[in-house]
Structure formats: structure tokens, C-alpha cells
Homo-oligomer: A and B are copies of this chain.
Amino acid sequence: MEVKARVIKMAREAKEASRILCNLSTKIKNEALFYMADSLEKKTDEVLKENRKDLKYAEEKELSRPMIERLTLNPERIKDMAEGLRKIALLEDPVGEIVSGWKRPNNLEIRKIRVPFGVVGIIYESRPNVTSDAIGLCLKSGNSVLLRGGSEALNSNIAIARILSDAAQEKNIPRGFVQMVDNPSRDAIEIMLLASEYIDLVIPRGGAELIKMVKEKSTVPVIETGVGNCHLYIDKDADLKMGVRICVNAKTQRPGVCNAIETLLVHKDVAGKFLPMVSQGLREHKVELRGCPDTRKILKGIKRATEEDWYTEYLDLILAVKVVDDIEEAIEHINKYGSGHSEAIVTQNYNSARLFLKSVDAACVYVNASTRFTDGGEFGMGAEIGISTQKLHARGPMGLRELTTTKYIILGDGQIRE
């Protein structure tokens, strides 16, 4: 009950702040963002002190090296966070944009305008920079934000949120627009997920398990992000050298992220030539290959791919490989096993390119480019809050605009319905 009362109080305060926030001018929001960035940099020592508490605890709990690496802050990383806030200040304010407008025969004027959601809940894991990104993006899009970070970063997250919230308040942003749920229990998350009276949207950022839990429990609308079981298909009419370059890039440039590929599909007519070429390139990056029977006839000695492999997002230097009879089989495989994130074909054939673009059911479908471009920055949107793999509301990289909804305003002169 104690936890529940606290979380609900935070959500209610966030909602109250959002009533003011939604009408603030872009100028006020931008001034606050610049001031918040300065504050964060000035208080680097304060953040680092709290971060050391988290790191000490992480070592005691023997968290994995990559996890501790993600958790670790230093002056450079804090500077990047501040820089991130300044970049958000420079992005266009989506609030108030007239999406469309028309006049009806009875002279009613209808306008569809972009407005903030109200309160956005964000449930995330490890990296403390998500705290400042989320606060900045929500402020610029006119939303209050209720944050629930991973327990391993609790002290760092609290410090960052407090510094940014205090700075914002000095610049006329309503107190309460940032709320940090400081209770490390799962209960706190579940209370958030049922607080649909106050919270308008929940975005989980983290592993598949977290996202599954949020989807199952939440009555607040959810945007799923991030799970990426991505594929690259090498068509029979591919430029094979380009195929090798794209495959190596999409797998190895940063294997731990959602837009890296996990499965390579190769047309049977070119498999004999392409697979040895690509396996050499991948071997230089220490990528482990797991193949279907046909692949293993060409690449001797590699492990066998099981049914489970086709479903797996390795997030690691492992690549499943399958030889397919034709482009239709490739598309079917992707639509069956893929997570709807980023999918690519390499081909010189106009019809294959069109068919792939039309038939693959995913947020981002590429011809002759690496899937690694699925990213708010690479798309030119600036900072992103995540990459949506669902179809409702937002699909693909989510920037400021995706953190807004619309409302209709209708101007009349006394019209009634006959």
C-alpha cells in the first residue's frame, strides 16, 4: 500500500504538471533545456559520486562486465548527456503543428492539431543516459515523464533526475513534470501499468522479458520498442561484393544493438559463391556461423542452426545462415521469424526490390543498405526515445513527433445537427 500510494501520488503530480506544460511556449522549454544541460555539467561531481555507489553495489553483486560498462559514468559521458539536451532544444517543437484542416459545407472549421500526450511512463534498464534523454524529449514534446529505471542504476538516475528537475523549475517549468520512481521492486512497475487514470502512455525499453511483462500487465497503452530479430537477404541478382560489405557491417559494426542482423538468407543460385566470400569477412570479426543443412554443405564444419536459432536475437557475434529457394521463401521466413524491426535485401533486380519492399512486414525495409541505419539520428530525426516494432501509433524510430497525439478543434458559429 505504501508503494502504491507513493507511485500514484507521483503519477498524479505528473498529470497536474502536464496541464501547464502542454501550453508552455517553445521558447520557455528551450531555455530550460539549455539551462538543464549547463546544470548537469556543473554538477558532474555530484552525479559521479552517486554513480560510484551504484558501481560499488554492482561489483558486490558481481554484475557482468558489459553491464558494469554500460552503468559507468565519467565526465565525458555526462558531457554527452548535456550535449544531448542542447540538441533537443534545437529540434523543432512538434506541439501545435496543424496536421490538417478543412471547412465543412455547414461552415464548421475542423483542424487536427498536434498536442502532448500528457504523462509518459518510461520503464528502462541500465544506461543512466536514458534518464536525461527521456526527460529532455518529454519536456520538449510537452509531456510530464514518470521514470522507472533499473535498480542497478538507482542512485545515478535519482541524481540526474533531481538535478534536471531542479534546473527546469528555476526556468519556469512546473514542479512535478519529472517523477522518478525510486522503489526498486517490481510492484512499483505494476502499479504504473495500471494507473491509466494518470499515465497516457508507457514505453518499455529493455529486454524481451521486460517488454512481454509490460504488454501482459498494462492497461495503459504501450509502445513496444527494440526487440530486433533482423535479416539480410542476398538475392540471386545481388552484387555479391556489396552483399559481403553490408552483411559484415550489419552484423559486426555493433553486434549488441537491435538493428544488427541475426540471420542471413541467401538465394540458392548464389550461395555456393557468396557464402565462402562472406564467411571470410565474418571470420575476421570472429563471428560464429550456424547454418541450415544446405549452408553446411558449402561451409563445412559450422554448427547446425536449430528452429530456435531462427527466432533468436543473439545480440552477439553469432549469425544464423539459411539457403532459400527463391525470394518468396526469404520473405516468408522473415515474416514468420522476424520481429518486424529492420529487414534488408541486396539485389540489382528491380522486381525483386519492389516485391521485397511491398511484402516484408516490418518497420524498416531496406534495399542495398545496412540495417544499422534504423536509428533516430541516422534517419535525421535527432534524438529518439526508442524504435517501435509495433504498428499502432508509431513504427520505427520514435522522435519528438511520436511523443505527441492529436486533437480536433472545431470552430463554429452556432451550428447544430439537423
Contacts and interface: CB of A to CB of B under 8 A. Distances in A.
A391 B143 CA distance: 13
A253 B417 CA distance: 7
A309 interface: no
Interface in A150-195: none
A130 interface: no
Interface string A188-230: 0000000010001100000000000001100101110000000
Contacts of A253: 416-417
A393 to B, nearest CB: 4
A387 B412 CA distance: 21
A139 interface: no
A146 to B, nearest CB: 15
A358 B24 CA distance: 11
A50 B170 CA distance: 69
12 contacts: A23-B358, A104-B379, A118-B391, A245-B416, A246-B416, A357-B409, A361-B407, A364-B410, A365-B410, A369-B411, A369-B414, A373-B415
A292 to B, nearest CB: 23
Most buried by B among A253, A380, A391: A391
Ordered nearest first, which 8 A-B pairs have the shortest CB separation? A369-B412, A249-B416, A391-B405, A372-B417, A393-B393, A221-B392, A242-B414, A369-B415
A417 B219 contact: no
Contacts of A215: 196, 219
User: For this complex, into which size category does the number of interface residues on chain A fall?
Assistant: 35 or more
A110 interface: yes
Contact of A365 (B118, B196, B407, B413): B407
A342 to B, nearest CB: 9
Give the residue among A250, A363, A412 with the most B Cβ atoms within 10 A.
A412
A104 B378 contact: yes
Interface in A283-336: 335
A370 B415 contact: yes
A378 B408 contact: no
Q: How many copies of the shown chain assemble into the complex?
A: 2
A84 interface: no
Nearest to A367: B411
Contacts of A201: 391-392
Contacts of A216: 219
B368 A412 contact: yes
B414 A108 contact: no
A35 interface: no
Contacts of A412: 366-369
Contact of A362 (B104, B358, B372, B407): B407
A35 to B, nearest CB: 25
A393 B223 CA distance: 10
A149 interface: no
Interface in A88-132: 102, 104, 108, 110, 112, 117-118
A359 interface: yes
A239 interface: yes
Given A23-B359, A358-B23, A391-B200, A368 B417 contact: no
A415 B249 CA distance: 10
